[in-house]
Structure 1
Amino acid sequence: MPNTDFSPAEVARRIEEDDAADLFVLDVRNEDAYEEWQIDDSTNIPIYDELLEYDYSSLEEHLDELPEDTEIAVVCVAGITSARAAAFLREHGFDAKSVDDGMNGWGRVHRQYDLDAADGVVQIVRPGTGCVSYLAHDGEEAVVVDPSQYVDRYLNAADERDLEIVGVADTHAHADHVSGARRLAGELDVPYYLHGDDAGELDNVTTLTDGETVPVGEREFEVLHTPGHTPGSVSFRFGDALLAGDTLFLRSVGRPDLEDGAEDAVREAASRLFDSLERLTDLDDGTVVLPGHFSDESGRPLATALGDLRAETTNELLSDVEDGDESAFVETIVESLADEPANYNEIKQINWGKAQPGGNVEALELGPNNCAAN
């Protein structure tokens, strides 16, 4: 039998590596779900409820809008209604396949990149959630930074490069995704690194402090305490690379309201974040900024020299830092905060060790990335 499914990873590869005209992504979820979170450049025909009832009348009305000479990847929530839609389209002469496990599967995709601009760093990107993690290595040793709950992705990345993982670190206590750092460190019996101000009620944490180093091979991470997004946020310098966590992104900075959303608390945290960003912008122009998140940037890998980031106009908040305008920085943050990440309070409780992950732990973090300040 011919294959009637696309894997989510294949869709991600095709979107990134092939010409956009080679794949048409059709999303059949309801409009509100699509507006909240979607695959970039996809097209929505909101017929989810109709497809549940095997009603294809609305899809038939839209056939003239679909490409006849391009592969169609049909996506829904979990791959059920999309499979029905894809089968209907094939019956009408279209080259259509369903995306296996739908948007649930899309949220689990991880893609990895060896960075030419940062020696010894592998960037691991989740295109569906905007999360970015790293495997930094020297010789035969590696440290994993900000891993997702899908720890096999990091074990495989290390195995592919004949590396031994000797440590696992979180740049902060995450609010948007369930960290896999403790689990990975526990399985490998290696240190789990986290700043003490973000450790909550966690046990078996090797706490980080400003200025100390974490060894990896014959090299080391330098720890920079950069509070603001969280009290214990850190950035790591690794040679010319800056693993900036959620302090500095390529187009924004980390939001400072997820610990305490009261305006006075947000202003205080934003002021700390301003100081942290001033410290980072004092680094050499050649420093390669490697963010912990991204929004709609299409280039891969996600890496920009600090000097280039300063020269660009796409990061308004960084421009305020460069101008020394703390007041404008704080006001912009207070006035432009977006919706919080989905289920962020429950995720924080898990990452702080105050709650155990339940059966819905994978679904908790699905949705748009909302960790940026604006």
Structure 2
Amino acid sequence: MAVKAMTAKEVAQKVLNKENVFLLDVRNENDFNDWKIEGENFEYVNKPYFELIDGIEPIQDQLPEDKEILSVCAKEGSSIMVAEMLNEAGYKAAYLKGGMKSWSETLHKAKVYEDEEISVYQFIRVGKGCLSYMVVSEGEALIVDPARFTEQYEAAAKELGAEITHVVDSHLHADHISGGKELSDKLGAKYYLMKSEGAIFDFLHLEDHDKIEFNKVSVEVLAVKTPGHTPGSVSFLVNNQLLFSGDTIFISGLGRPDLGNKVREWAMDLYDTVHSKVAEIIDDVIVLPAHYADLDKEINSEGYIGSTLGEIRNRNNEMFTATKEEFLESVEKSASSVKPPNFEEIIAINRGVESADIDRLQELEIGPNRCAVHHTD
């Protein structure tokens, strides 16, 4: 009897529904500790599969008899073997189809906002902590900070009866491959990025556009005014109601400014951003970031990651009230944390100076996002 496969989308739904799941991760201990499937009500046992080749006896006393056990590995092969052994021993088991690679690539669509002029959707990359968006108005769609899984945005647009006509990246991403250029090439959509980010392919320069407008959408480009994570980081204020903040402002922190090895210089830019441009924006604006750190703490009651700017100010009060020197010291201390894996190669690919096949792209993106500092407890 074939062992049951559970898709990454099914697991993501269990995470979002806060279901109880018992997970047996058969990767190496270091890989498990660095990055795992996280759910508020998940239970875990980690045991490398090569220690289970002769049977599950070493962990049998840790396994529940009344719950389904989800076996997880990097690509799926080892987890199938372990799930089969579990079933043979009388347990109810399943394995994660595609392993942690598939977990890294799953997008969950959530509705954020709707009025008579626009509707807005968030795409939550549950296994990676990345967020992207679709803004729809009268049959046209804008994509903000897309992942490389362009077919998922195309399918969502088709379902909504829209055509993707505009694509924007808030900065040159360091932890994942952007789908911006591919969407532009495939669909003829207008693709916008800061020229100062150094991409070598053709695109529209955000420095030349104070606003991007189509149908009932007005996107104010806060360009060259919200640096911090990278020198060319921008934010997008849509219809004066929604702030797509990229990696500048998160729900529980700010973007880390140390990936260019200019920590203090870029931290000063980040301080000026927070205490000048952001200070001018009203509290009621909904902030929609490009990443999150803790799904359980940051997802709201409406099912998406976002919050009003006023709530974020209250939540991160020290960041918004610190003196410049206090702010710089705090950022420099946080900058000692582990950098995104493979970030230099990912940036080079996003810049267009390097390329990679699909297997390499998957390898580069494996792991959690590490683009933030200052997260609250």
Shared fold (TM-score, shorter chain, > 0.5): yes
Q: 1:295 aligns with which of 293, 296, 304?
A: 293
- For 1:181 and 1:20, the matched residues in 2 are separated by 34
Retained in 2: the 8 A contact 1:237–1:243? yes
- For 2:284 and 2:208, the matched residues in 1 are separated by 22
Q: 2:69 aligns with which of 72, 77, 82?
A: 72
Distance 1:154 1:55, change over 3 A: same
Structure 1: state its 5+ residue gaps.
Answer: none
Distance 1:2 1:216, change over 3 A: farther
Kindly indicate whether residue 120 of structure 2 is the aligned counterpart of residue 121 of structure 1: yes
Kindly indicate whether residue 307 of structure 2 is the aligned counterpart of residue 304 of structure 1: yes
Kindly indicate whether residue 109 of structure 2 is the aligned counterpart of residue 112 of structure 1: yes
1:324 shift after superposition: 4.7
After superposition, where does 1:225-304 map in structure 2 within 5 Å?
225=223, 226-239=226-239, 240-259=241-260, 261=261, 265-278=262-275, 279-298=277-296, 299=299, 300-304=303-307
- For 1:331 and 1:212, the matched residues in 2 are separated by 33
- For 1:127 and 1:159, the matched residues in 2 are separated by 23
The amino acid that maps onto 1:110 is: L
- For 1:174 and 1:233, the matched residues in 2 are separated by 10
Retained in 2: the 8 A contact 1:73–1:98? yes
After superposition, where does 1:1-374 map in structure 2 within 5 Å?
4-17=4-17, 19-21=18-20, 23-40=21-38, 41-51=42-52, 54-56=53-55, 59-116=56-113, 120-198=119-197, 200-209=198-207, 212-225=210-223, 226-239=226-239, 240-259=241-260, 261=261, 265-278=262-275, 279-298=277-296, 299=299, 300-312=303-315, 315=316, 319-337=317-335, 338-358=337-357, 359-374=359-374
- For 1:362 and 1:5, the matched residues in 2 are separated by 21
Task: Return the TM-score normalized by structure 2.
Answer: 0.91
1:42 shift after superposition: 4.6
1:211 shift after superposition: 6.8
For residues 152-189 of structure 1, give each alpha carbon's deviation from its aligned partner in whole angstroms, at most 9, with x where no partner exists.
11101111101111111100001110111001111111
Retained in 2: the 8 A contact 1:247–1:253? yes
Structure 2: state its 5+ residue gaps.
Answer: none
User: 4+ runs of 1 displaced by more than 6 Å?
Assistant: none
1:3 shift after superposition: 5.7
1:103 shift after superposition: 0.7
Distance 1:234 1:342, change over 3 A: same
For residues 308-330 of structure 1, give each alpha carbon's deviation from its aligned partner in whole angstroms, at most 9, with x where no partner exists.
11222xx3xxx344215121111
Between stretches 173-182 and 293-302, larger displacement belongs to: 293-302
Retained in 1: the 8 A contact 2:104–2:125? yes
Distance 1:250 1:368, change over 3 A: same
1:25 shift after superposition: 1.8
- For 1:252 and 1:344, the matched residues in 2 are separated by 20
The amino acid that maps onto 1:367 is: G
The amino acid that maps onto 1:228 is: G
Task: Return the TM-score normalized by structure 1.
Answer: 0.91
SS of 2:95's equivalent in the other structure is strand
1:126 shift after superposition: 0.5
For residues 24-47 of structure 1, give each alpha carbon's deviation from its aligned partner in whole angstroms, at most 9, with x where no partner exists.
122111111101101114513222
1:128 shift after superposition: 0.7
- For 2:7 and 2:44, the matched residues in 1 are separated by 18
- For 1:220 and 1:185, the matched residues in 2 are separated by 20
Between stretches 207-216 and 339-348, larger displacement belongs to: 207-216
CA RMSD of aligned residues (A): 1.7
1:48 shift after superposition: 2.4
SS of 2:372's equivalent in the other structure is coil
Retained in 2: the 8 A contact 1:137–1:216? no
Distance 1:116 1:219, change over 3 A: closer
The amino acid that maps onto 1:178 is: I
The amino acid that maps onto 2:308 is: A
Retained in 1: the 8 A contact 2:220–2:238? yes
For residues 324-371 of structure 1, give each alpha carbon's deviation from its aligned partner in whole angstroms, at most 9, with x where no partner exists.
512111111111221110100000111111112234112111101100
